[in-house]
Structure 1
């Protein structure tokens, strides 16, 4: 599989960086502002992966609001969350072991790399810079870069266009069913890591061509 590739698209949260601590700090600061109950770290882990708006909505529903009440609160919650996340972005997160080695190996094979995440693009760029990963990537796209987000295939197809590569020659590296489903629908080969979030579901049940325990296994 690796010998036929021209580029790779790499997810961020749960794949390259363990950002659960950042989400915990920003989300619970937001909920405190709103007078809503805190959400446990283990529950937040299951809410990650579908973008910040989904995370906030899930936390509001988890705290006892019905759908209509959550929708009314969402705009204020979004503004407060963005402010808090700007403060905490990168402060409570760590690069997973093997990530630098894996990205270095992909670049050494001549692959062009893009980061594609459901996290807002500005947050993603700031985090990559803070963790010393920005230099690996020719492009960085977030959940607000395209009309739809993963698991829709559109972000992968648009990223392939930006890379100038065919989907069949572009590897997707992620940690969740969102990445696996998007890759399958786009026609990209996909490798998933076993240590990510994936909403609490077994990663082996997600569409994949290979499972790895570290990005260093891509070397």
Structure 2
């Protein structure tokens, strides 16, 4: 890859370990309600409720807390919980989720390295600033990037081309000079490529990319080499 002028990074499961936090929160909810359910199945059911409710959150019909209450009310009802109290479950979930906050290894270091190499940096996330801003500020990542674009800040969420173009505009670069980095093949790679950017896929399991032309990293420490900044 030829040297880019800017790098745009996803947040959840690219810099921040959202999957681990979510599993911790869901495990706490399951224990509080005496639910015997496979953790992987619970994770997928929870994700389905998020997908169903996110449009209400993104349109402003619900705030982040209200969206959580609605999804846990629905999830607990679906699982046959004796007391599907979404408010109580939200408090349990958030306490465990927040307790397990952590970055993926190397996140601050790689941002510092990219900045030291003279690249402009942005975070582009498909979630609300109320939540994502807290994560970035807690770990000091907001001070390591030039722009943060949450779902409220763009005309449409990834993989809509307008999301990536908004990030490029915030960094004052053309799409051809920018690289999108993220864990979602659809939202961080395919969408970026279709919008005229290049992309690097973060595949934590080491799974190869569906498109052999897309660089893949399994750890953030390998990102500078994938961007052509240092020898691979």
Q: Same fold (TM over 0.5)?
A: yes
RMSD of aligned residue pairs (Cα, Å): 3.9
- For residue 110 of structure 2, give the secondary structure of its aligned residue in structure 1: helix
Summarize the Cα distance change of 1:80–1:52 in structure 2 as closer, same or farther, 3 Å threshold.
Answer: farther
Change (3 A) 1:83 1:64: closer
Structure 1 residue ranges, 4+ long, deviating more than 6 angstroms after superposition? 27-32, 48-52, 54-59, 79-86
The structure that has the greater radius of gyration is 2
User: Is the alpha carbon distance of 1:83 and 1:181 closer, same or farther for their aligned partners in structure 2, counting shifts above 3 Å?
Assistant: farther
1:9 pairs with 2:14: no
**Is the 8 Å Cα contact of residues 16 and 103 (structure 2) preserved in structure 1?**
yes
Other-structure match for 1:23: 22
Offset at residue 26 of structure 1 (A): 5.6
Q: CA deviation at 1:154?
A: 1.4
- Determine the structure 2 residue equivalent to 1:98: 106
With normalisation by structure 1, the TM-score equals: 0.71
- 1:79-130 alpha-carbon deviations (Å, 9 max, x no partner): 9998777766643222111222321221111111110111212211110111
2:170 to 155, 158, 162: 162
| Gap change, CA 1:21 and 1:139, over 3 Å in 2 | same
Does residue 212 in structure 1 map to residue 212 in structure 2?
no
Gaps of 5+ in 1: 66-75, 197-201
Cα distance, 1:216 vs structure 2: 1.2
Contact 2:28 2:93 in 1 (8 A): no
Displacement after TM superposition at 1:20 (Å)? 2.2
Task: Supply the distance in 2 between the matched residues of 1:23 and 1:147 (Cα, whole angstroms).
Answer: 28
- Equivalent positions of 1:48-87 (< 5 A) are 53=54, 60=74, 64=78
- Quick one: distance in 2 between partners of 1:93 and 1:215? 18
Query: Unmatched 5+ residue regions in structure 2?
Result: 56-66, 80-84, 225-232
Secondary structure of 2:14's partner? coil
1:62-211 correspondence runs (5 A): 64=78, 90-177=98-185, 178-195=187-204, 204-205=209-210, 209-211=214-216
For this pair of structures, how many residues does the alignment match?
202
Q: TM-score, normalised by structure 2?
A: 0.68
**SS at the partner of 1:17?**
coil
